[in-house]
Amino acid sequence: MTGVTAITLTRYRPIEVLRAMRSVRAQQVGVPVEHLVLIDDNPEIEEALAPVVGGFPDCTVRYVPREPGEVSGPGRASRLRNLGVQLAAHPWVAFLDDDNEWTEDHLASLLDLAERSGSRAVYCEVALLTVTGDPYLEPRWPWAGSRQEAEERYRRYVEQGVCVPGSNVIHDRPDVHDVPVDSSAWLLSRDLLLDVPFTDRFSADDARDLVSEDDKLFYELRGRGERLACTGRPTLRYYLGGYSNSRETVHRPEDIAWSSE
């Protein structure tokens, strides 16, 4: 039977990961969906989730300690994503970052496209939101090293149809090769991910250019000639912020009004 394993990595975002858990539970799809939440070596998150995880019967929370000397960043995220793929029980895998959420038809629309297209790698468009949930409408590309670069890239993407002034949606343009697919937008065959795992090797140039593990996966799939397909629907609600596993501050569990509703 077709089914989906949704994988979420979390380290410093107990409030946001609960929102992600609710989002997976709310999926309106006619196949089994399991949610695997991997805690990146933070006992406070494990403690915070313990009282509420019972309200998510298809969710498994697993604590993953770090090896000595292991640090935050895309390399660590890659290793956790690959672990999640190895643990996945279903033939399809989706990733939902702990600070993002999906619309209720996200997985259904991706599975439908995968069936129609025969593609092992399908994805959706992205709706950008501020940290407070408002549409991000600034005329700047949010992933840039400087304000000038952000404005220049935004203008270029408007010309290419990736961005539309007054809209918070990143539109798919397969010919624009420098806009990779975000990890939370993908639905991927587990067999494909076992064959093409996330790389954990990153250079100083990668860090300077803000290259992430999902960027490298996108380029690897393109380089292999893998057939990619997009739904053309912004079913990923992307909250701008940053890496969960690189934040320096932690919400205290006692400060959180935990609820599975």
Distance CA 9, CA 34 (A): 14
Distance CA 215, CA 88 (A): 22
19 vs 176: which has the higher pLDDT: 19
Torsion of CA 19, 218, 38, 76, to 10 degrees: -130
**Residue 129 to residues 5, 43, 115, Cα–Cα distance (Å):** 25, 29, 30
Residue 255 has pLDDT above 50, yes or no: no
Residue 256 has pLDDT above 50, yes or no: no
Name the pLDDT band for 205 (thresholds 50, 70, 90): low
Question: How confident is the model over 251-256, as a mean pLDDT?
Answer: 33
Question: How confident is the model over 153-158, as a mean pLDDT?
Answer: 97
- For the chain, percent of residues with pLDDT exceeding 90: 77
Say what the pLDDT of residue 93 is.
98
- For the chain, percent of residues with pLDDT exceeding 70: 89
Residue 74 has pLDDT above 60, yes or no: yes
Question: How confident is the model over 135-160, as a mean pLDDT?
Answer: 95
Q: What is the enclosing helix (H) or strand (E) of 189?
A: strand 186-189
Say what the pLDDT of residue 210 is.
58
